Amino acid sequence: MIEGAIEKPIDKIRYPSCTKKARHYLVLAQIAIVVWFVLFAVLQYIAVRYFDGWPRIPILLLVVLPAFITIACLYNAANDNSKCCHCNSPVMIHRFNWLGIASGLLPVCKRCRAIVGAEFIKPLPDNPANPVNPVNETPTERSNP
């Protein structure tokens, strides 16, 4: 488990699905990195094997630039959709928290870290003994029975 993460029942989290789209885009970015890397390796092999005197700069331009653009677009889309699970304010995705968000942990913004006591919240499954009535209770105002 990532350091700075606490476990909490999903019915006690204010915004449990706040980073669903961000998580989706981060997983797509990871898949894109692997696909572009494999494509680059295959094209380099073809260029070395069959086109001995052919310059390798066009291969770099044909593969690396679209890969960079694709991954940057997916990363920016993930950043646009990353929200704090406590106050629903934007949370920046950076090198310290992208793996946690991609793995399903819910991020907490800098202001809410002191309140929550952690950087991430790991949602636990619903408790069937204590169901939440969505008609009477909102995600921000849940009562404890």
Stated length of the chain: 145
Q: Measuring CA to CA, which residue among 91, 94, 96 is closest to residue 106?
A: 91
Residue 137: what pLDDT? Answer: 44
Question: What letter does residue 1 receive in the DSSP assignment?
Answer: -
pLDDT by residue for the chain (145 residues), tens only, comes to 456 788 888 888 888 888 899 999 999 999 999 998 898 888 878 877 777 766 667 767 777 888 899 999 999 999 999 999 989 899 988 877 888 888 888 999 889 888 888 889 988 876 555 555 444 444 444 444 4
The pLDDT value given to residue 56: 66
Determine if the pTM surpasses 0.85: no
